[in-house]
Every structure is written in C-alpha cells, then in structure tokens.
Amino acid sequence: MRLKRKRGRKEKFEDLMDGIEEEEGGEGRNWEGGRGRAKKQRSNSSQGWDERKRKREKGKAKKPSRGKVKRVEKVGKRKMKKEKLLKEEQEVEKDQEGEKGVGSEEQRVGKGSGKGVEKEEEVDEKGNEGLGEGRSSEMGQEVKEEKDEGKGDTQVEEKKKKKKKKKPEVETEEMEKKSEEEETPGKTGKRKSKEGEEKKEEEKNNKKTKKQKEEEKEAENKWKWWEEEKKEDGIKWMQLEHRGPYFVPPYEPLPKDVQFYYDGKPLKLSLATEEIATFYAKMLDHEYTTKEIFQNNFFHDWRKEMTSEEQEIIKDLDKCDFGEIHKYFVDKNEARKALPKEEKQKLKEEADKIQEEYGYCILDGHREKIGNFKTEPPGLFRGRGEHPKMGMLKKRIMPEDVIINCSKDSKIPEPPEGHKWKEVRFDNTVTWLASWTENIQNTLKYIMLNPSSKLKGEKDWQKYEVARRLKDVVHTIRAQYRKDWKSKEIKKRQRAVALYFIDKLALRAGNEKEEGETADTVGCCSLRVEHIQLHPQLDGQEHVVEFDFLGKDSIRYYNKVSVEKPVFKNLQLFMKNKDPSDDLFEHLNTTFLNKHLQDLMDGLTAKVFRTYNASITLQEQLKALTNPEDNVAGKLLSYNRANRAVAILCNHQRSIPKTFARSMQVLQEKIDAKKKQVEEAQEEVKKAEDEFKDTKEAKAEVNVEKKKKLLKRLEEQLARMNIQATDKEENKQIALGTSKLNYLDPRITVAWCKKFGIPIEKVYNKTQREKFAWAIDMAGEDFEF
C-alpha cells in the first residue's frame, strides 16, 4: 500500500514536470499531445528524465506560457510541500538553474499582462477545465488509488485526457496575442488605447436614452396622414369624438388666519369678492400692478362684483392691503416646490390621469392629442404691450357658455353634474371641438387639436404651399405695382404703395382689429399721417421713411427705411393737406387690397406675402451664412442669425428678460473658468512633449496624445460657450420662436439639417418636432422653397 502511494506521488510529480517540458519543447497548448507523451514517459520514468536533460543541454528550451507556468508552479509547490518531496524539488531547481528559471520567466510574463492570467483562470473556474480542476482530481485520485489497488492508472489518465481536451482554442489564440503584445509593448499599448477610445465613442453614439427610445417609438406609431388621399374641399373630418373641456376646479376660500385689510383694519370679504382679491394679490410682485391703467380697470371690475356693504366700505384701492394674501400664495408655491419626490409623483399621476381622460379625441379612427383641453381660469386680463384693457376681470367659464362640436354617430360628451351645454353641433367643416365667448373683448375662444395633429398639420402644409406658389408670380406682381405708382387713379397708387410696404417690410395689412378691441394698433392699410415721417436725406441715405406705430398686440414698430424715389414722392402726395390723425391711405382697406391680390393669384392675401418673404429670407440667409467647415455649434449660430434676420423683418420683438444680466454673468464665469482649464491643459501638453523628447518612451508618447486630446476637447467646449454668449447677446430683444413656428416653412430647416448633418433636435424641440413631423418625413436635403 505504502509503495503504491509513493509510486503514485512520483508519477504525479513527473506528470507536472511533463507539462513544463512540453512548453519548453515548443508544443504550445497541445493538451492532448502533452498527455499522450506523459503516458509514455510514465512507463519509463528514468528514460524520461534523461530525455529532458538532453533537450536542455542542446539549448532547445523555449519560454513557457505564463498562464500554464503559473498554475503548474502553484500546483507543484502545494503538492511538494504537502507530500515533502524534497528530493524531487531540489532536482527541479537544479534543472532550472541553466535556464532563465520558471519563477523569473513567470514574473517577466506577468508584467506583460496580468489580466490575461486572471481571465484564463476565470474560464477554468467556470468551465471546470483548468489545472485547478485537474489538481482537485489528482488529490482525490490518491485516495482512490489506495482503495482501488487493482484498477491501475488507465482510467485516471483517460479522465485527465478528456478534461485537457475541453480547453478552448480561444485560450490558445489569446495567449498567442498576449505573447505578441509582450514583444511590442509600446505599439500594442497605443493600439489598445486607440481601440478602447473608439469603442467608448461608438458606445456613446449608440447609447440612447429612454426618452429618445420613447420618441422613436412614438414616431413609428405616428399617423402619417400626409401619405393619405386628401378629402374633398371643405370636409375636415368624418368622425370626431371627445370628452369635452375640463373645467377649472371651484374656488377654495382662504384660511381664517389669512386676512384682507382695508385702511389698516381686517375685513371679511364675501366669497366672490375674496376670489377676485386673490387675483390681484398673486400679481403684487409683477410690474402690471404698478401701472395705473391696470389698477383702475381692476378696481372698477372688482367693485362691480362686491356686495352693497363691501361697496360702501371699499372705495380706495390705495387703502387695500393684500400683503397677507400675497404671502400666503408665495408660501404655498414654495411649499409645493419643496414637496417630497413621492408627493410630486402623486400630483403628476393625477395630472396625467386628467390628460388621459380629456386630452385626447378620436378623429377618423385615430387617437389625436388635443391642444388646450382646459378652459381658461378666471383672473385679470394682461394683454400685450400697453393694452388699454389690462387689469379687467376675466370671468369663470361655465358649461352653459360652451358650444360642443362632434360627429353625429359619436357619444356626445356629458356636461358636469347639474349643468348643461349651451349648444351641441355636428359641423365637420370646422376644426374646433368646443368654443365659448370670452368677456373682455367678446371674441370666440376654441378648444382645438394639438399642433401635431392632422388638422393643424394640413393647414400649415397648405399655407406654405400657397406661399411657394407666390414665388412663381412675385416678379409679375412687383412689376405691376411699380407700374401702378404712376397711375392716374389715386386709389391704385395708394394700393401699389401699400403693397410695396407689405412686400418689402413684411407689414401686416391692418384693419384686422378684433371686435371690442380698443387698443390703438394699426397695420399698413390703417396707417395715419402721424405714424410716418419723410426725410429726403438721413444718415447718408436718400428718400428715408421713418415708421413709428403700435402693431399687433400693441408691440411698437419703429424703423427707418430708404425707399424708391416714386414711393417717396407718392407719400408726399398722400400726406399733403392732411392732419396728423388723418388716414394715410384713405381710399384703401384690406378687403379691397385682398380682392386685388386674389385676381393676381388664387389664394393670395397680404399674409401670404409675409410668409413668403420670411421663408425666402431664411433660405437665402442660410445659403449665405452657413460654412460647411464649421462645427455643429458654429452652424447653429449661423442658423440663429438667419432666423434673426427673419424676426427683424417681421418685427418679432421682446423685452429683455429680467434674468438676462444674471444668466450672462453666470455664462461669463463659466467661460473664464474654461479658459483657465485650457491654459492649464496647454502647459500639461508642453510638459508631456518635453518628457517624450527626453525619454523617447512609448508610454510618454501615449501621454502626449492623451494630453492633446484633452486640450482639444476643452478648446471645443470654450468655443461653444463663446458662441452661446454671442448668440444670447444678439437675441436678447428678438423673439425667434414666432417666426420659426408660424412663418418659416419647416422643410427649409429640415433640408438644411440633413444637408449639413445637424441633428434636428438641435433646432426643433420635441413639441416642434411633433408639429412638423410631416415636414421632417417628406423633405430631403435638396428641398428648395
């Protein structure tokens, strides 16, 4: 029994040494061949030792594979220590003295790449295929040999042979690759670094956010109505079903500890009076409440809603103290902002539930989003510019004020309990779902479909197609109005001059004031003598007309324009013997002008000129300003400059935002910090280059490339920030959004993006992309307006 165990140990150790010798003999990882030779050597161990010595003497030994050597050494040391085979260990050490040594070789290989060994061992553990598994089998085999003396070694060796066969060929390839890397460490390091960066960049480009994936999914499910056949003229839909408008919740009274004070004394208000008081209190920190016209209109309408007792007491707005009410709503707003995430999520879910119920309709079998499904809340009218009705009370909309429009075969929406609709209609020649008349200007308000819907999209598409048709006849029209400047009829002359202003200055036609509007706003046809001044020479230009009037929404239009000489002379004629308040074009109105335009081209109105000039200006400016060599940020700056030219043409102004100065200051601080980072990076590059010159090491060369890439990235970031600052400054008083949404054919923008490789989301936000889905789908990079 004891002799058998000793013989087994010796054979085991010889087997391990065989593995090393196989590596030395250049056989690589031919596991099967190695095991076969091991069997033969076991039959004559002394002959095996002599053979190995002869090989070493001839100098045929080769470098062992680091993964195999490492594992063999571990197994050998453990077994030798455990079984105290001191004699054999000494022999091995003597044998290795003439070579580089397994230990030293292992260290050198390990420096090349430790990861390769770890990876191999990981594979061994997962697949039970490595020497670790073999070691366990061998240790267990010793016990088995003691028990089963008659069975011999044949079955054991066959099992070992099978396990060795399982070693994957991939491991051999990996080891060969690692060996190559050891021979050329500098080149390999650079290659790996480059490959790693390319892989990261690819992953970054391919990585899509959850939001982007949702958008793509929505786009796939989008109803491509533009690919369907158009309905006959006048018919907008065949089926329309919806839930009706969502009404604003009833007013909630103020807490008892929040009081209104009049002349320094608390005063309990009736519910209706209190609600209107809260409208004013909420606006105390707004400039509107400092304007006299706003204050007067508010107080006049507020008193009408008071009880007779309240009217007797409250007679002077200056004695009213809304401070506590204002503070209550400010605190309430802050508390809402400070809500825990869970509470905010609950509020969002409630809003989503309302949106799901009231925010969609069925249009011709398709689910379409509704734009404004909520009625306007009661409050104080603000208006734009210096509107004369600012501060007046906007009353609460009730179901009895609302007209419903749907299809006959649909389920008619139910009004709130205890109420009824003003009327239910089945009119498929209009696009609105519900309507009511608001009390400030007595104008109709509508619930319409979302801008991304079929009905809105069709209307936009048609509008831009009419403007495109104008391109074919605009030269004829211009020749005609130039000819009419010399007409014997004063009416034709006035029409020709007005049309020149509409064409060249993109002025609105005028006479478009809504019923009940009292603001002194004018357009081209309704200009008065006081709105223009004539300068034969001004600022080095001849025949200058100075415009100064309030346009739509009480926005001031101020411009100095050099006009053609016949226009200037006609204006002098029109103004002769007139008072400042007299009409400039007394023989002209929009009806007469538009009738003339219809004769020139079907569908042509003064507004079509505005759309045409805006779109053609954008297209020409983009061609002139876009540099194909610019980066994305530079091209976007060119786009915004082109858009700004259109906004100036159309007089799309805005007041400078209150936060502008602060936001510019923050941006400048970021720019200064980035400049400092760039300077530091430049110094780092210089240091790295000096180090490489001194050492000429591959590692130093890699470091130089790394520093240069960092510097380039920082310089690009700084350039983008500078462009952003320029863009912000140039646009501080210009509203780009109005022209982008209403006057510019979106296909021009889409074509520009596709031509110059600009992501469409850089120009259009999600809402705008939904609105212009038809343009994004149909326009190619060669589209011309």
- Measured between alpha carbons, how far is 625 from 636 in angstroms, rounded to an integer? 10
- Measured between alpha carbons, how far is 501 from 490 in angstroms, rounded to an integer? 17
- Neighbour count for residue 696 (Cβ, 10 Å): 9
Indicate the helix (H) or strand (E) that contains 324.
helix 323-337
Determine the distance from the C-alpha atom of residue 633 to the mean position of all C-alpha atoms in its chain, rounded to a whole number: 15
| Marked catalytic residue, from 464, 557, 743, 764 | 743
- Residue 238: partners with Cβ closer than 8 Å, 6 or more residues away: 231, 364, 407, 428
- Measured between alpha carbons, how far is 63 from 105 in angstroms, rounded to an integer? 7
Q: For residues 449 and 583, is the Cβ–Cβ distance under 8 A?
A: no
Indicate the helix (H) or strand (E) that contains 560.
strand 556-562
Residue 549 amino acid letter: F
CA-based end-to-end distance of the chain: 100
Indicate the helix (H) or strand (E) that contains 71.
helix 66-83
- Residue 558: partners with Cβ closer than 8 Å, 6 or more residues away: 547, 548
Burial pattern 14-45, b for ≥16 Cβ within 10 A else e, equals: bbbbbbbbbbbbeebbebeebbebbbebbeee
Answer positive or negative: Cα dihedral of 700, 703, 709, 715: negative
R_g over Cα of the chain: 43
Torsion of CA 127, 131, 133, 139, to 10 degrees: 170
Q: For residues 53 and 164, is the Cβ–Cβ distance under 8 A?
A: no
Q: Give DSSP secondary structure letters for 483-548.
A: HHTT-S-HHHHHHHHHHHHHHHH-------PPTT--S----STT-BGGGEEEEEEETTEEEEEEEE
Q: Are strands 260-262 and 541-550 parallel, antiparallel or unpaired?
A: unpaired
Q: How far is CA 402 from CA 245, 396, 406, in A?
A: 9, 12, 13
What own/partner pairs with CB < 8 Å and gap ≥ 24 does 126-131 have? 127/166, 127/168, 128/163, 129/163, 129/166, 129/167, 129/168, 130/71, 130/167, 131/68, 131/71, 131/72, 131/75
Q: For residues 386 and 455, is the Cβ–Cβ distance under 8 A?
A: no
Q: For residues 772 and 750, is the Cβ–Cβ distance under 8 A?
A: yes
- Measured between alpha carbons, how far is 602 from 589 in angstroms, rounded to an integer? 19
Residue 73 amino acid letter: E
* Helices within 224-321 (DSSP H only): 271-282, 292-305, 308-313
What are residue 775's DSSP bridge partners? none
Among 745, 202, 197, residue whose Cα is nearest residue 471: 745
Answer positive or negative: Cα dihedral of 196, 198, 204, 207: negative
- Read off the DSSP letter of residue 265: E
- Measured between alpha carbons, how far is 79 from 88 in angstroms, rounded to an integer? 11
- Residue 688: partners with Cβ closer than 8 Å, 6 or more residues away: 700, 703, 704, 706, 707
- Tell me if residue 743 is catalytic: yes
- Neighbour count for residue 575 (Cβ, 10 Å): 15
- Supply the residues annotated as catalytic: 743
